[in-house]
Amino acid sequence: MRYLDLTLPTPEGNLALDEALLEEAEAAGRPMETLRVWEAREPAVVVGRSSRVEREVNQDTCRELGIPVLRRVSGGAAVVTGPGCLMYGLVLSFERRPQLRRVDVAHRFVLGTIAGVLSPLVPGGVRCQGISDLVVGGRKFSGNSMRCRRDHLLYHGTLLYNFRLELVDRCLAMPPREPAYRKGRSHQEFLTNLPAEPAAIRAALVLAFDAKADLRVRS
């Protein structure tokens, strides 16, 4: 698996690069797997492919704060990203991993793998909760989603480690759907930062997916 640690200057460019890595793999005519890690330089709201912005996002607040609202290619609800939130993206091959064509199996495989390598970093360990969350102490620090194509899937998500959680309360409405374990908690009550250094998180992801070959992207 290739490894790319690259943050582009704009949030639009960063989202587009995740999609471009998926499209590159599809066009290659062979399995092409990549792990990418990045961290946005400024806050941004990112909504899912089918999200209703007017329902999920406090648009007036985002305009007041100058925070862009962008749309990703994968599903799921809106998230807020920015400094203190590592983002990862995995392009995985169905030829190498045919079991991942089942959505539930894909969630279990990726999240279980990440939980396994992050747990040693955190007292009490990391657990999978809901459909696509990672939690510590019953509070969510990672939300995830996927986009499937013919031969590959893109699985990507957030990893909060030093994020301004109050920003989520300000920018997002309560989600249209919530897992049972949330129990109606506000964003700030529900979310938490993973008590780990970003370098350790990056190293754990590289280990988890055996990503060895550094990838260079031409500007």
Please give the Cα distance from 165 to 188 (Å, whole number).
6
Cα of 53 vs its chain's centroid, Å: 19
Listed as own residue / partner, the contacts of 120-123 with beta carbons closer than 8 Å and 24 or more positions apart are 121/194, 121/195, 121/196, 121/200, 121/201, 121/204, 122/194, 122/195, 122/196, 123/195
Is 109 a domain residue? yes
Task: Check: CB of residue 95 under 8 Å from CB of residue 28.
Answer: no
Is 188 a domain residue? yes
pLDDT in tens, 154-211: 999 999 999 999 999 999 999 988 999 999 999 999 999 999 999 999 999 999 999 9
| Tally of structural domains, the chain | 1
Please give the Cα distance from 73 to 94 (Å, whole number).
19
DSSP H or E run through 5: strand 2-5
Mean pLDDT of 51-65: 96
What domain range includes position 15?
Answer: 2-214
Is 20 a domain residue? yes
Task: Check: CB of residue 39 under 8 Å from CB of residue 86.
Answer: yes
Mean pLDDT of 55-65: 97
Is 219 a domain residue? no
213 pLDDT above the threshold of 70: no
Is 142 a domain residue? yes
Which residues lie below 8 Å from residue 143, measured CB to CB, with a gap of 6+? 76, 77, 79, 132, 133, 157, 158
Residue 55, domain CATH:
3.30.930.10
Please give the Cα distance from 161 to 168 (Å, whole number).
14
User: What confidence tier does 219 reach under pLDDT thresholds 50, 70, 90?
Assistant: very low
The chain-wide mean pLDDT, for the chain, equals: 95
Q: Check residue 217 and give its pLDDT.
A: 58
Is 96 a domain residue? yes
Please give the Cα distance from 186 to 14 (Å, whole number).
28
In this structure, the strands spanning 85-93 and 79-81 are unpaired
Which residues lie below 8 Å from residue 90, measured CB to CB, with a gap of 6+? 33, 34, 35, 36, 110, 154, 155, 156, 209
Mean pLDDT of 21-27: 97
Please give the Cα distance from 194 to 53 (Å, whole number).
28
Is 165 a domain residue? yes
Is 163 a domain residue? yes
Inter-CA distances, 77 with 20, 56, 98, Å: 21, 7, 27
